[in-house]
């Protein structure tokens, strides 16, 4: 690894210029780098009453808190949705990313549910938000496949809540079965994939299929091991299968790839408490030791993560798991690192 940091940044610019198409994979690290952090000062300033009452430590773990009543649950979630989905405008990092790829043939697949890609100008028909949207409600038991916008209700909940509770009259109920409603984010077997979800999946499959024989740049931003079978592992597999594809991975904690693909990937990480800037892409790394990376990340099957059938774009490439071992005799490719 003798190439300088600036040299690797120049290489990334060159790869972007030369690419015929760009596939962007956006994970939670991208939104954190953009400013939507779930812990620290941003959390303590906005959730002081919940911290005092429930002992919460950050917004991510708070999302799993077992509230005893719907009034308490929606008091928290209305504020969470307002802070992370409704109030923030298109953030500079996302706007800069759009400027970099807007003249390219591109597509976005993301596990983020904050709608930042939509706000930044990325066309709806070029986005596949696999894990849902904070801005939508669904039946908690998935009794029907329709989603409901929650903006007016969430703003009212946030305005009228007292002592970490909302008025009982504001608790959302399913218009079909009469049971409780839930935020449309994937967390159990009842996650609703509506018609728009399947249309986005189909467009993603088509893009991946057409990119197989083209000069493809896979730009993976802030994707870790929470749900690696959605972006991380498929991106590695697509990189290996397409001789003209290059994977650029920008990640504060998990910048590496599987060893058999090292010669075709570009990893960007500036380490402890440092900053990565890549032609406008800025990632502020959290002070966590790289040595704590997960050694044995659970590789959930895509059928479990999505609950429905596995998309063709993921079926078409080896997952890297058992039964899909790639022979050592296959040709090596190029590697670019930024540490």
Q: What is the dihedral of CA 256, 261, 265, 267, to 10 degrees?
A: 10
The label of the residue with tokens 């997960």 reads 294
The alpha helices in 161-231, defined as continuous H runs, are: 195-210
Cβ–Cβ under 8 Å, residues 69 and 165: yes
Q: Is 174 annotated as a binding residue?
A: yes
8 Å CB contact between 322 and 253: no
C-beta separation of 39 from 51 below 8 A: no
In this structure, the number of other CB atoms found within 10 A of the CB of residue 20 comes to 13
For residue 1, what are its two tokens? Answer: 């690894």
Helix (H) or strand (E) holding 151: helix 151-160
| Measured distance between the N- and C-terminal CA atoms of the chain, rounded to whole angstroms | 9
Q: What angle do CA 98, 99, 101 make, to 5 degrees?
A: 65
Question: Is 177 annotated for ligand binding?
Answer: yes
* Residue 313 counted as an annotated binding residue: no
CB distance 133 to 115 below 8 Å: yes
Q: How far apart are CA 162 and CA 175, in angstroms?
A: 26
**Order of strands across the sheet that contains 148-149:** 148-149, 132-139, 181-185
Residues annotated in the binding site, as ranges? 139, 143, 174, 177
Residues annotated in the binding site for Zn(2+), as ranges? 139, 143, 174, 177
């Amino acid at each position: 690894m003798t190439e300088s940091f600036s040299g690797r940044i120049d290489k990334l610019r060159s790869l972007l210029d030369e690419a015929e198409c760009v596939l962007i994979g956006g994970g939670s690290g991208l939104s954190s780098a953009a400013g939507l952090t779930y812990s620290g000062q941003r959390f303590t300033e906005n959730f002081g009453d919940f911290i005092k009452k429930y002992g919460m430590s950050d917004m991510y773990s708070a999302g799993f808190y077992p509230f005893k009543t719907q009034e308490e649950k929606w008091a928290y979630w209305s504020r969470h949705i307002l802070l992370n989905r409704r109030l923030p405008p298109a953030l500079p990092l996302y706007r800069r990313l759009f400027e970099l790829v807007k003249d390219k043939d591109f597509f976005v697949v993301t596990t983020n549910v904050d709608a930042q890609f939509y706000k930044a100008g990325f066309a709806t028909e070029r986005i596949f938000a696999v894990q849902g949207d904070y801005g939508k409600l669904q039946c908690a038991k998935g009794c029907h496949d329709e989603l409901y916008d929650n903006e007016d209700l969430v703003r009212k909940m946030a305005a009228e809540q007292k002592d970490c509770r909302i008025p009982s009259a504001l608790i959302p109920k399913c218009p079909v079965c009469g049971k409780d409603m839930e935020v449309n984010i994937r967390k159990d077997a009842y996650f609703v994939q509506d018609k728009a979800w399947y249309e986005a999946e189909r467009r993603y499959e088509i893009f991946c299929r057409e990119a197989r024989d083209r000069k493809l740049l896979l730009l993976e931003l802030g994707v870790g091991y929470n749900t690696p079978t959605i972006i991380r592992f498929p991106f590695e597999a697509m990189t290996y299968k397409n001789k003209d594809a290059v994977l650029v991975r920008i990640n504060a904690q998990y910048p590496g790839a599987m060893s058999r693909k090292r010669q075709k990937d570009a990893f960007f990480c500036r380490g402890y408490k440092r900053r990565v800037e890549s032609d406008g892409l800025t990632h502020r790394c959290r002070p966590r030791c790289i040595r704590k990376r997960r050694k044995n990340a659970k590789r959930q099957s895509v059928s479990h993560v999505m609950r429905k059938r596995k998309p063709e774009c993921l079926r078409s490439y080896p997952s890297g798991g058992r039964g899909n071992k790639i022979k050592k005799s296959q040709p090596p490719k190029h590697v670019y690192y930024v540490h």
